[in-house]
Amino acid sequence: MPTRETAPAGAPCWVDLMTSDPARARTFYSELFGWTAEDPAEEFGGYFTFTKDGVQVAGCMPKPDEAVPDGWSVYLATPDAEKTVAAAVDHGGQVIVPAMVVGELGVMAVVTDAAGAAIGMWQPGLHRGFGVFAEPGAPGWFELLTRDYAAAVGFYRDVFGWDVHVVSDTPEFRYATFGKDEGALAGIMDAAGFLAEGVPAHWSVYFAVRDTDAALAKTAELGGSVVLPAEDTPYGRLAVAADPTGAVFKLVGPTKSEPAPAAAS
């Protein structure tokens, strides 16, 4: 697996799961993606890290409030979390968690963007973020679904320094990426036409797999559920699933006409 020492500023650099059942999450994701769950760090509230072939890929923590739904969070890299939080507020965002030092690991914060979606940020210290991506068993893509596309695009451009590239700008499909073509690192989709009432704007993480259909079958076998079945798209064979406690995640694998990657997952 190719590894990455650090993420470019503004790029997704870490994902973690807040869950009501950490023990079940350890088993589920380890068996689904071939991850290894490290020991929880009691000094950080029981937070623990998943690795793939010895490389960090994701984190997990027990949720502190039962009212908060189980779910995955995305963090963008920043060289200065305090300045980025201030910029977020200046550009219409709100602070959920102010910049907070996490030992020698780094500095984290969580804000909402100008359209209301929560997004984390991470200023790396000893913890540099996930060390592999877009490979089977690792985070593969990151996407914001928003009802206010223009506001969201402006926010990530101005606050996180995104080099925004428009993929499509039609009423049927409006999409922009951070970076271009094969170098794209994350996307923003205009979801005003299909986000269900009551579902907030939100970030999603796609995990890369060798076989999307097989991963969905394994999800169900392990006690999770299929939210949207696998479908071939120009961007891979995509699907939406949920773990046993309801945390939603997405899958991306080769289309039926593509050869599967050599690495196992």
Q: Residue 98: which residues within 8 A CB-CB, separation 6 or more? A: 85, 109
**173-232: per-residue pLDDT in tens?**
999 999 999 899 999 999 999 999 989 999 999 999 999 999 999 999 999 999 999 999
Residue 256 reports pLDDT greater than 70 = yes
pLDDT for 259 equals: 62
Position with higher pLDDT, 262 vs 78: 78
pLDDT of residue 108: 98
Average of pLDDT values for 126-132?
Answer: 95
| pLDDT, mean of residues 240-249 | 98
What was the pLDDT predicted at 100? 97
Q: b vs e for 15-26, b when ≥16 Cβ sit within 10 Å of the residue's Cβ?
A: bbbbbbbbeebb
21-49 mean pLDDT: 95
Does 262 have pLDDT greater than 80?
no
Q: Cα separation of 178 and 161, whole Å?
A: 9
Strand partners, 126: none
CA distances, 208 to each of 52, 114, 230 (Å): 12, 29, 13
Residue type, 56: Q
Query: C-alpha 24: how far from its chain's center?
Result: 20
Is the confidence at residue 49, as pLDDT, over 50? yes
**pLDDT, position 263:** 45
What DSSP assignment string belongs to 105-139? TEEEEEEE-TTS-EEEEEEESS----S--SSTTSE
Mean pLDDT calculated for residue range 34-47: 92
Work out the angle between the directed axes of helices 212-221 and 22-33 (0-180°, nearest 10).
150
Tens digit of pLDDT for each residue in 77-106? 999 999 999 999 999 999 999 999 999 999
